[in-house]
Amino acid sequence: MKSPFRGWGMKQDEDFAANLAGEDGEAEETKRSWFRRIKKNITTSTKDKKEAPDGLWTKCPTCKLTCTVSELRENLFVCPKCEHHHRIGSAEYFDILFDEDKYTKLFGNIRSKDYLNFVDLKPYQQRLDETYAKSTIHDSITVAHGKVNKHDIVVACMDFEFIGGSLGSVMGEKIARACDYCIEHRVPFMIINKSGGARMMESAFSLMQLAKTSGKLSQLSDAKIPYFSLCTDPTFGGTTASFAMLGDIIMGEPGALIGFAGPRVIKETIKKDLPPGFQRSEFLLEHGFLDFIVNRRTLKEKLTQLLVLFKN
């Protein structure tokens, strides 16, 4: 389409060129040629291009505020402008919670197995090997024992980057062992949920973990050991259907999406529009699924309060 400003732009360009040359009497051709490209296209070869360092800057998906990663880290990965809670992994949560960043990781030697020779876009074993190669975590959940303001606690935290934080047999086994460990040492237990649901590649073995973890948590309850569940963005599928909703206290991070099936599936099933804020923490709090919403910046303080309350 022809722009209405096209003529105006051309005029401006010409005046600009004339002013730069310090004269106004030159032929049209000379005026223009002075900033004409001699060589066409970009000629720098790929190997000579200078890479900009990755991950120095980050943009908030809610308010589009751009800030440095170190600035965001200082703010515990909460947007300084709109309080959006960025997704973080187990290492970050352990740093936020444990005193002086000191903690002992437990059951790090358990690995996933491809029992079913499952192939989707690629074989499951290949997917696992690739994930191990690009990350230092061993599976979608990491368990650690440490102190929160001098109170002992075992925290199991999920990593979304490891196959979507999916609930497979390793996650089930780690939670089961963590429960045994907590009963043996009389230490409270906490799970930080961040998962898309059961791990498809382990099929029924993943689904068995729902019963297994629920059974173990009831043993924890019989032993009168408190269990806290923190639901972060996103908490879905098998996790919501089992341990995430079994806590003595169930907390949510602000704005976290928490549910069983996703909003699109529900909308297609009930053939009705969903209410605003559906499946967000605030909506769930109003409907009684959560005990309270906790801002990440006050998480350690809140958890300490809970530990003191349950100790007495």
Total site size for Zn ion, rule CB under 5 A: 8
CA 221/CA 218 separation, integer angstroms: 5
Tokens describing residue 273: 């529009």
Which residue in the set 10, 20, 21, 63 belongs to the binding site for Zn ion (CB under 5 A)? Answer: 63
Q: Least distance to Zn ion from the beta carbon of 83, Å?
A: 7
Cα 207 → chain centroid = 23
Q: Least distance to Zn ion from the beta carbon of 119, Å?
A: 40
Closest to Zn ion by CB, 11 vs 64, is: 64
Which residue in the set 76, 79, 217, 231 belongs to the binding site for Zn ion (CB under 5 A)? Answer: 79
For 226, phi then psi, to 5°, come to -70, 145
62 binds Zn ion (CB under 5 A): yes
Closest to Zn ion by CB, 77 vs 93, is: 77
Side chain identity at 19, as an amino acid letter? N
295 binds Zn ion (CB under 5 A): no
Which residue in the set 17, 18, 75, 84 belongs to the binding site for Zn ion (CB under 5 A)? Answer: 84
163 binds Zn ion (CB under 5 A): no
Q: Least distance to Zn ion from the beta carbon of 9, Å?
A: 36
Stretch that binds Zn ion, among 72-80, 152-160, 208-216, 303-311 (CB under 5 A): 72-80
Q: Least distance to Zn ion from the beta carbon of 256, Å?
A: 15
Binding footprint of Zn ion on the chain (CB under 5 A):
60, 62-63, 65, 79, 81-82, 84
